[in-house]
A and B are shown apart, each in its own frame.
Chain A
Amino acid sequence: MTIVDPTAENIVADPNVVNITINDKPVLARKGELIIAAADRTDDFIPRFCYHPRMSSVGMCRQCLVEVETPRGPMMVVSCMTPVAEGQIVRTATETVKKAQEGVLELLLANHPLDCPVCDKGGECPLQDQAFSHGPGESRFVEEKRHYEKPIAISEIVYLDRERCILCDRCTRFADEVAGDPLISFTSRGNDTQVMTFPEEPFSSYFSGNTVQICPVGALTAKPYRFKARPWDIEQTESTCTSCSVGCRVVVQSSRDELVRFQGVDIDPVNWGWLCDRGRYNFESVNSTERLIAPLIKTDSGLATTSWSVALESAARIIRTALNSGTDSVAILGGARGTNEDAFAWASLVDQLGITQRDSQLGDGLTPEIFNLAQATIDETCAASTIILLSPDLKEELPVLYLRVRDAAQKRKSRILEFSPRDSGLTPYAWRSVSFEPGRQAQVVRETLGSQEMQEQIRRGEVVVVLGRSNLAENEAFTLHALGEILHAIPNAKILPVLRRGNVRGAVAVGLTPQKNSGDAIDILTKAAAGKIECLILLGADPLADVADSDLVARAFNRTRSVISIDTFINSSNRNADVVLPAAAFTEKAGTTTNLEGRISNVTQQITPRGTSRPDWMIATELGLSLGIDLGVSSLDELHQKMTSSIAAFSSCANNPVINSDGVLMENEASATISRASVVLVDRNSYSYRLIVSRTMYDNAQSTTTSPSLVGIITKSAIYVNPLDLARIGVVEGTNIRVGIDDKSIVLPVNAHSGVHRGTAWLPYNHTSVDIRPLLDITSDVVDVRIEQLR
């Protein structure tokens, strides 16, 4: 949105600019802009409840009435439905307007319970605030108010209090227009109208928290915040969410040094004010009582609490001993969950120690080379005429990017060309969705792009490829081959890389990524399984739970002599570690982070780190000292300076210690080329099913399992096949079946899913109750399984 400076005196004659007058002051506005939006750039506030700048106007609440001069005299109009026009004269505070606004407010309050003292919204409530600023001050309504059951849970997270609702249509509009999950709707009519879900069907949207944030009254409240704090007890700071790599701006709110709520911040280049429910509510894990609060060290009777000095000395001794057998006997995994500064400090430390075996991904992403292709930002992607999706299901893995791409396809002129092994959240909005059997994507891409229709579409304008890993049960090379085909057909296509871990791009930029002549995480684990790694450093990584090949990682951990873990929780990988150092979590430390498009923005500290936990960068410098290495930094500012001066990618934020909300884009050079490699076709036996393994929003991630509000909605393990295949297997939905490959098998329920194509089976990763990883073997290109009835 271009915002015209209303005070600018010499504006170039622009056909898209119109001059209007608001309360006798001249205002410049864009053609087609609404009066209320233009007035928002002046000091004259027009009261409103239903209007939201990121959604279409509906004129539901009638609160924004203003007077517009017409040839027949002043006329009352709804300013959220009336566009500006040249020479328009608007008055927002005449006696008539005041009377109208007071009248509307009195009517809205007639049915409102006025239970402000016990309402969570009290103190930050648009209805309360505007009743004071624009209301009549008293009510003539003496009758009994209407009563409804208070409140009813419409999902695991969201509660609805119908008495308080003023029917502004914000939540229902959001669910329909923005999220594409119209699971709530106005029901009944007239005085009985209420917002409701379908009977006994929950409002199970991944974006339900946004409806709570935009509710202008206390009708929608969210479980994690209900009765936790009052707005005047809250302290807050603006930060960037690092749950995934989209990098949404958030306001982090705490009360008495405990996190109580996250709210989305509207910034143009990224999240437009929206958040996904995982990012909004998994702050509960920071408050978790299971957090590590002191260093732990291995003793005969398991892990025991110790002091930082003992733990650091012990870690240093382990590393020194291991380094005696050569720098190749130490490896570091992780680093994508912290700040850029954290990753940089660790990268500097391992640089000085000569450790080259590093990876911040765990074999589930793509080569960092993709960051060196011509890059597109999220905005550029959403403005492209063709968006090619060669990516995981964005709705599941990068939810707010899904909102942006969906918006581009629905309301702008972008067309989505999707290549996906199964139907994704964006399939309904795709111009063309082409499915492929895992392993055959390059061939399918080549055949598709060759058609006349596609050639014409490609010539219409910019093409951006959203590139990521759609399947954990196939060789990453298949995705790169398919990308090679796209770039061969469209050499000037730009890339939006979508690797999911919070700060993977920052970690790669500072060098926590495979170095020359050393392999990636899988290679490191393979070496460890062969007994070649003496010490494994886990920087916020949990390979035993995260790496797809559970057999490989178990063997690797068996043969590795020592494990040093820096983490916020005890997890499967550090349960038997030699030293566990407690790390400060997100919101407990400051710094910068990098999102998937390379946007550097700041993360801020809002609460004190739990116990004696410390930021990763501080642990790196301390550990360095114990090893006789001085990283030469004693504060975050110094570290930031050092990082921006020594890493070219960060030079854009060199003299900018306080980065604004929008952040700054990383310096980027398009140097890599992806060649069109020959494609190895793998044939599937017609009795077997080719596996698609991918993540969904609520899985057994540590931050989800330790968030009480989210743990209940983690999905139970199941395998999904096409309805026709279900008939072929000969069972009904929900039956336990055996899924096997060679001599390994697991038993879990099977469900029909029309978005899964025949001959393939979708197995969501890391769900509750059954570990699916025994089926996965990292060395095979694709995984074909048998599905059999239990006997």
Chain B
Amino acid sequence: MSRLSDKNLVIAKEIIARYPRQKSALIPLLHLAQEQTGYISREAMVHLGELVGVTSAEVYGTATFYEMFRFEPIGKYLVNICGTMSCALMGAHELMHHAEKRLGVKAGGTTQDGMFTLAHAECQAACTEAPCLQVNYRYRLRVSTTDLDKLIDDLEAGKLSEEIPAHGVLAKVRQHIAPDRVVGAVSPELVNQAPAWLNGKAAL
């Protein structure tokens, strides 16, 4: 069920074509799979292995190295509340308690409707703006409990869907590489000349 959809398969093939070695495309493809279902399913990993010519075990080994890849269903919005020093001093714990109460789940849990997953996070590098949080890795700074309530209201009402896409979507604008800058699926050992984009002839 959660192999790549036909639409995403077209994108996957375009991504694979960018790399001299197929398996180099694995991480972008894992993001694509996560974008499709919000998390990376077993079937998706099997499918990606088939696409780039590695075993499922190798896909699994690569994917589990990275914290941002999830292997179990996750809420549409992943709310990461920072709990490291600056944020802790500025009220992150209270914020977390409030969030737990408001959403009715403990940190680490997912709401029953599948909308929110609440999680502790380590420093998100916004210490001057403490306490901070991220929703699907989009920052919210100097967050008060009132701000949090409003954020959740807005997310539930769909008011922020433009700004914050569902979990797994990295960007709304998909990267596109002009044909003359594509390296192509040619092994570097077989390439004698510098790539087109290095010799200054390609349109930049």
Binding site for B on A (CB under 8 A): 181-189, 196-199, 201
Residues on A with C-beta less than 8 A from B58 are 182, 185
B159 at interface (Cβ–Cβ under 8 A)? no
How far, in angstroms, from A264 to B67 measured CA to CA in the complex?
40
Q: Once the chains bind, are A185 and B60 in contact (CB under 8 Å)?
A: yes
CB distance from B192 to the nearest CB of A (A): 19
A186 CB contacts on chain B under 8 angstroms: 61
Contact A199 B60 (CB under 8 A): yes
Say whether, besides A198-B56, A201-B56, A185 and B65 are in contact (CB < 8 Å).
no
B41-77, CB < 8 A from A: 42, 45-46, 54-62, 64-67
Chain A residues lying within 8 Å of B61, measured Cβ to Cβ, are: 185-187, 196
| Chain B: interface residue total (CB-CB under 8 A) | 16
9 further A-B contacts with Cβ under 8 Å, apart from A182-B54, A183-B57, are A182-B57, A182-B58, A183-B55, A185-B58, A187-B60, A189-B65, A197-B57, A198-B59, A198-B60
Q: List 8 A-B contacts (CB under 8 A).
A: A182-B58, A183-B55, A186-B61, A188-B65, A189-B66, A198-B59, A198-B60, A199-B60
A181 neighbours in B (Cβ, 8 Å):
55
**Residues from 1 to 48 in B contacting A, C-beta threshold 8 Å:** 42, 45-46
Q: Which 5 A-B pairs have the closest CB atoms?
A: A185-B61, A198-B56, A187-B64, A198-B57, A185-B57
Task: Tell me the minimal C-beta distance from A433 to chain B in angstroms.
Answer: 16
Across the interface, B55 reaches (CB within 8 A) one of A182, A187, A188, A196, namely A182
**Chain A residue, CB-CB nearest to B59:** A198
In the complex, which residue of chain A has the Cβ closest to the Cβ of B45?
A198
Q: Establish whether residues A198 and B65, one from each chain, have CB atoms under 8 Å apart when the complex forms.
A: no
* Cα(A613)–Cα(B60), bound, Å: 52
Chain B contacts for A182, CB-based, 8 A: 54-55, 57-58
Q: Is the CB of A188 within 8 A of B64?
A: yes
- Measured in the bound complex, the distance between the Cα atoms of B42 and A196 in whole Å is 15
Per DSSP, are chain A's interface residues mostly helix, strand or loop, or mixed?
Answer: loop
Q: Is the interface of B mostly helix, strand, loop or mixed?
A: helix
Complex CA–CA separation, A217 to B46 (angstroms): 31
- Taking CB as reference atom, which chain A residue is nearest B63? A187
Q: Which residues of B contact A185 (CB under 8 A)?
A: 55, 57-58, 60-62
- B66: chain A residues within 8 A (beta carbon): 189
| Assembled-state Cα–Cα distance A184/B65 (Å) | 14
- Given the complex, which residues of B lie within 8 Å of A196, measured CB to CB? 57, 60-61
Asked if A184 contacts B64 (CB within 8 A), the reply is no
Residue of B nearest to A184 (CB): B57
How long is the Cα–Cα vector from A181 to B66 in the complex, in angstroms? 24
- Chain B's nearest CB lies how many Å from the CB of A274? 20
Set of chain B residues within 8 Å of A183, measured between Cβ atoms: 55, 57
Complex interface: chain B residues within 8 A of A197 (CB): 57
CA distance A199 to B56 in the complex (A): 9
Distance in Å: Cβ of A173 to nearest Cβ of chain B: 13
- Report the nearest B residue to A189, measured CB to CB: B65
Contacts of B62 in A (CB 8 A): 185
A182 and B49 alpha carbons, distance in the complex (Å): 12
A196–B64 Cα distance when bound, in Å, is 11
- Chain B residue contacts of A187, Cβ below 8 A: 60-61, 64-65
Question: Smallest CB–CB gap between B135 and chain A, Å?
Answer: 25
Q: B92 CB to closest chain A CB, in angstroms?
A: 24
Nearest residue in B to A172 (C-beta to C-beta)?
B61
Rounded to whole angstroms, the CA-CA distance of A181 and B42 in the bound complex is 19
A268 → chain B, closest Cβ, in Å? 29
* A185 and B61 alpha carbons, distance in the complex (Å): 6
Question: Within 8 Å CB of B59, what residues of A?
Answer: 198
Q: Which residues of B contact A184 (CB under 8 A)?
A: 57
Write the nearest CB–CB distance from B58 to chain A, whole angstroms.
5
Give Cα A184–Cα B59 distance, bound, in whole angstroms: 11
Could you tell me the distance in whole angstroms from the C-beta of A338 to the nearest C-beta in chain B?
A: 40
CA–CA, A182 to B58, complex, Å? 7
The smallest C-beta distance from B2 to any residue of chain A, in angstroms, reads: 14
Q: How far is B56's CA from A204's CA once the two chains are assembled, in angstroms? A: 13
Residues of chain B contacted by A201 (CB below 8 angstroms): 56-57
What residue in chain B is nearest A194 (Cβ atoms)? B64
Shortest beta-carbon distance from B148 to chain A in Å: 31
Q: Shortest beta-carbon distance, B45 to chain A, in Å? A: 7
Does A189 lie within 8 Å of B64, measured CB to CB? Answer: yes
Within 8 A of A (CB), among B98-129: none
Q: How far is the CB of A178 from chain B (nearest CB, A)?
A: 15
List residues 130-170 of chain B with CB under 8 A from any CB of chain A. none
Query: How far is B57's CA from A186's CA once the two chains are assembled, in angstroms?
Result: 9
CB distance from B75 to the nearest CB of A (A): 22
Report the bound CA distance from A198 to B57 in whole Å: 4
Residues of chain A within 8 A of B56, CB atoms compared: 198, 201
| Residues of chain B lying within 8 A (CB to CB) of residue A198 | 45-46, 55-57, 59-60
Q: How far is the CA of A94 from the CA of B45 in the complex (A)?
A: 49
Bound-state CA distance A184–B56 (Å) is 9
Question: What is the CB-to-nearest-CB distance from B69 to chain A, in angstroms, rounded to a whole number?
Answer: 11
Nearest-Cβ distance from residue B40 to partner chain A, whole angstroms: 12
In this complex, what residue of B is CB-closest to A193? B65
Which A-chain residue is minimally distant from B55 (CB atoms)?
A: A182
B197 CB, min distance to chain A CBs, angstroms: 31
Residue of A nearest to B42 (CB): A199
The listed residue with most A CB atoms (<10 A of its CB), out of B42, B46, B57, is B57
Cα distance A157–B45 in the bound complex, in angstroms: 25
A196 and B55 CA atoms in complex are apart in Å by 13
Residues of B within 8 A of A189 (CB): 64-67
Docked CA distance A188–B61 (Å): 7
Cα(A39)–Cα(B62), bound, Å? 35
Q: How far is the CB of B133 from the nearest CB of chain A, in Å? A: 24
A-contact bits for B173-201, CB 8 A (1 contact / 0 none): 00000000000000000000000000000
A188: B residues at CB distance < 8 A: 64-65
Highest count of chain A CB atoms <10 Å: which of B46, B61, B62, B67: B61
